[in-house]
Amino acid sequence: QSALTQPPSASGSPGQSVTISCTGTSSDVGDYNYVSWYQQYPGKAPKLMIYEVTKRPSGVPDRFSGSKSGNTASLTVSGLQAEDEADYYCSSYAGSDNLVFGEGTKLTVL
């Protein structure tokens, strides 16, 4: 199972919106609505930001939103804030009781 494809980096200025893509195949992202997004600060455990493509756990700001089209899922961060600077990973159910992660994207707030 290959890792999902994410851009290595993304950036935006405070207040702007940025979108991070996560491209898989018709066997994972394209076939199931089980895409999640995680935020990770250096030296910390990942934090779930989005699950089941569009849902936010309690406590996650509504500036974070998820979507999917075909084999590509996306995370949009609106109204960028300095504390949004982190690594972001997507994951998807890949069938046969397997999970696959994306390669990760480093988000920089300029």
- Contacting positions for another protein (CB under 8 A): 1, 3, 32, 34, 36, 38, 40, 45-48, 51-52, 55, 57, 89, 91-93, 96-104
- Least Å from the CB of residue 49 to another protein: 10
Instruction: Name which of 58, 4, 52 is nearest 28 in CA terms.
Output: 4
DSSP, collapsed to helix, strand or coil, labels residue 3 as coil
- Least Å from the CB of residue 55 to another protein: 8
- Are 76 and 18 in contact by the 8 Å Cβ rule? The answer is yes
10 Å Cβ neighbour count for 44? Answer: 10
- Least Å from the CB of residue 47 to another protein: 8
Instruction: Name which of 91, 76, 107, 95 is nearest 24 in CA terms.
Output: 91
